[in-house]
A and B are shown apart, each in its own frame.
Chain A
């Protein structure tokens, strides 16, 4: 029987299939395959240089795959008809024009994506930047930049979130808030993929983890009490 809910959910699935990418002689990503389903937070773990960022950037059309595919609901990011209302992404925290305010950054994105400017105030409030909205980003702390990046990702109210080290630079309170926030989004049916190298944080945020090392997938499992032991065992 046709189930509209299931159809929506499949359209929000992240799928990486035999994905490879080399930079010169270095194989950054090596025949990597996995899927990320809606409804839970999936952690993307691995040591520095394991290929996490490269994989996420291939998913977002910023890096061209050497071979294989990286798709969202079966479609490559570059072919999505309305990318930022489908996928929200947080990449480096520093990528803002220092002379523009948080509000101007978000308004420019709305204009470029054809979204209503009415989205700006709610996302600023959601990430706790209402007070700082009209200050120049040049004076922002790393944590505030992370919040602005998250606000940018939420602008299009997407059902899929791809976050690269979003907890970087956040203070303990903000990390606590981010954890609750991501879990609530996932509980609401969003697909959430979060990369991190902080195991303890992932152990309490994610329900499932993908562990990569040297560009290869070495584990795809539910999070349990032994995450750290398992990780250390696998990544040796």
Chain B
């Protein structure tokens, strides 16, 4: 089942397109950190900045099944809907990790080059942790997207909801109640990468790596469980 999901993703052009855009996006962010913000220590952590695209891939691979009605074939092959959900989440974890690796492989040398060109030390503290954290974070974003897609089922609605949350609602919430900043999806994913400087006004420190991972995975699992109980049990007509 997982192999089938990975196979389908490999044969979906938008997955490749979004991966390429994500990698380019990360390099762009690294350039901003180096040349504009002069946040040298955070430059390598920009390898996680493609997370929104991993989220979109997760949404596409789940809500897209409803959009194209391929869910019928999926359920004919595997009528156990709980197993379909688990398979989707695991497969999206693998796909997200692959996207994260692609982003890191492109971003790391580009960042090193930019640091060298700008006359900074090429090796900054915590580079391996930042890159590995980026891969983990991107994987978790794809899992989270898959869970959201299963819950909402409508690809366009899920995509819009995700954008509204991550570009408006979450910022607003954190601005109003800074204490929740480290608990929001963006906050926990930053804790995984160890991103010290923060666009969001987070009060206090980010969570430790393990706690951030657990909380983020927890969000995905909760969304998936709700999806199992509410959306996925719905009839396919």
Known contacts A94-B69, A95-B69, A99-B12, A60 near B237 by CB under 8 Å: no
Q: Report yes or no: A97 in contact with B12, Cβ–Cβ below 8 A.
A: yes
Q: Report yes or no: A111 in contact with B72, Cβ–Cβ below 8 A.
A: no
Binds A, one of B1-9, B125-133, B134-142, B204-212: B1-9
Q: Does B231 contact A (CB under 8 A)?
A: no
Shortest CB–CB separation between residue A146 and chain B, in angstroms?
Answer: 14
Residues of B within 8 A of A (CB-CB), count = 26
Q: Does A159 contact B (CB under 8 A)?
A: no
Within 8 A of B (CB), among A22-64: 53-54, 57, 60-64
Known contacts A62-B235, A112-B4, A99 near B13 by CB under 8 Å: yes
Q: How large is the interface on A (under 10, 10 to 19, 20 to 34, 35 or more residues)?
A: 20 to 34
Q: Does B77 contact A (CB under 8 A)?
A: yes
Q: Please name all residues of chain B whose beta carbon is closer than 8 Å to the beta carbon of A104 when the two chains form the complex.
A: 7-8, 11
Alpha-carbon separation in the docked complex, A94 to B193 (Å) = 43
Q: Report yes or no: A100 in contact with B12, Cβ–Cβ below 8 A.
A: yes
Q: Report yes or no: B75 in contact with A109, Cβ–Cβ below 8 A.
A: no
Q: Report yes or no: A112 in contact with B70, Cβ–Cβ below 8 A.
A: no
Q: Report yes or no: B68 in contact with A80, Cβ–Cβ below 8 A.
A: no
Indicate which residue in B69, B73, B236 contacts A109 across the interface (CB closer than 8 Å).
B73
Alpha-carbon separation in the docked complex, A152 to B77 (Å) = 10
- Chain A, residue nearest B75 (CB): A62
Q: Does B118 contact A (CB under 8 A)?
A: no
Q: Report yes or no: B68 in contact with A112, Cβ–Cβ below 8 A.
A: no
Q: Please name all residues of chain B whose beta carbon is closer than 8 Å to the beta carbon of A217 when the two chains form the complex.
A: none
Indicate which residue in B7, B13, B72, B235 contacts A107 across the interface (CB closer than 8 Å).
B7
Q: Report yes or no: B4 in contact with A109, Cβ–Cβ below 8 A.
A: yes
Binds B, one of A83-91, A195-203, A223-231: A83-91
Shortest CB–CB separation between residue B147 and chain A, in angstroms?
Answer: 20
Q: Does A108 contact B (CB under 8 A)?
A: yes
- Which 3 pairs show the lowest CB-CB distances between chains A and B? A95-B69, A112-B4, A111-B4
Contacts A100-B8, A109-B73 known; list 18 others, CB within 8 Å. Answer: A53-B237, A57-B236, A60-B76, A62-B235, A63-B237, A77-B79, A83-B76, A84-B77, A94-B69, A95-B69, A96-B68, A96-B70, A97-B64, A109-B77, A111-B3, A111-B4, A112-B4, A112-B77
